[in-house]
Amino acid sequence: MGLRIKDLLIALIPIKKFRQYLKLYHGTYPYTVMGKNVKIGTPKNLKLGKYIFIGDNARLSCEGGLEIGSHTKIGVDFLVLTSNHNYQSEKLLPYDEYDYKQKVSIGKNCWIGARVTICPGVKIEDGAIVGAGSVVTKSVPKCAIVAGNPAKIIKFRNIDLYNKLDNENRNINFDNIKEKKWLEVNLFKEFLTKE
């Protein structure tokens, strides 16, 4: 992927923090693509790897800190929370003015489906897959596939294959996919023909 004119102009700005701000909010952060209407709360606490895709309408609450590893793909309507209210207050209901900050960490090569919610304090390790519509309340181990509300482990990816491909840097990015390819799977038809 070649440099765009916008990238070159931003690179000429002498103030590093302002340059980073422009890259993050104008879609030119190194090899990262953010969809439309992505909202980031407390962006100074956000750390991004390379070749990340974040779908439309994502809400990233970064008060407690959020890290997303390289080559991670995140679907539309994603919500991540990094703080929680003090609901055990002895002076106010339903909660008081204090919030607990809890960092969220998403590893590299993760695939987070559409409409996933990640709760404060969760760590999603490298190579994990989170099914669409899941609510992740607990940390997810390496190469686990989780789904549901609350998300539970369904199975694991082949960890040896994952490690082999990762060591060979065989990661999906925006340069090595020229055209999307489709595989047709008709499991419904197969289900109907079974007796």
In a shared domain, residues 22 and 90? no
Q: What is the pLDDT of residues 67-115, one digit of tens each?
A: 999 999 999 999 999 998 888 888 888 988 888 899 999 999 999 999 9
Report pLDDT for 17: 52
- From 26, 39, 44, 85, the catalytic residue: 85
Kindly indicate the confidence band of residue 146, based on its pLDDT and cuts at 50, 70 and 90: very high
In a shared domain, residues 36 and 116? yes
In a shared domain, residues 94 and 133? yes
Report pLDDT for 33: 77
pTM of the model: 0.77
**Domain count within the chain:** 2
In a shared domain, residues 42 and 135? yes
In a shared domain, residues 38 and 13? no
Range of the domain at 14: 1-30
Report pLDDT for 30: 55
In a shared domain, residues 100 and 170? yes
In a shared domain, residues 38 and 118? yes
Section 173-187 average pLDDT: 59
In a shared domain, residues 60 and 141? yes
In a shared domain, residues 6 and 71? no
CA distances from 83 to 88, 150, 151 (A): 15, 18, 19
The residues, ordered by sequence, that sit 6+ positions from 185 with a Cβ below 8 Å of its Cβ are: none
Assess whether 26 carries a catalytic annotation. Answer: no
CA 28/CA 36 separation, integer angstroms? 14
Q: What is the pLDDT of residues 7-59, one digit of tens each?
A: 555 455 455 554 455 555 544 455 677 888 888 888 889 998 888 889 999 99
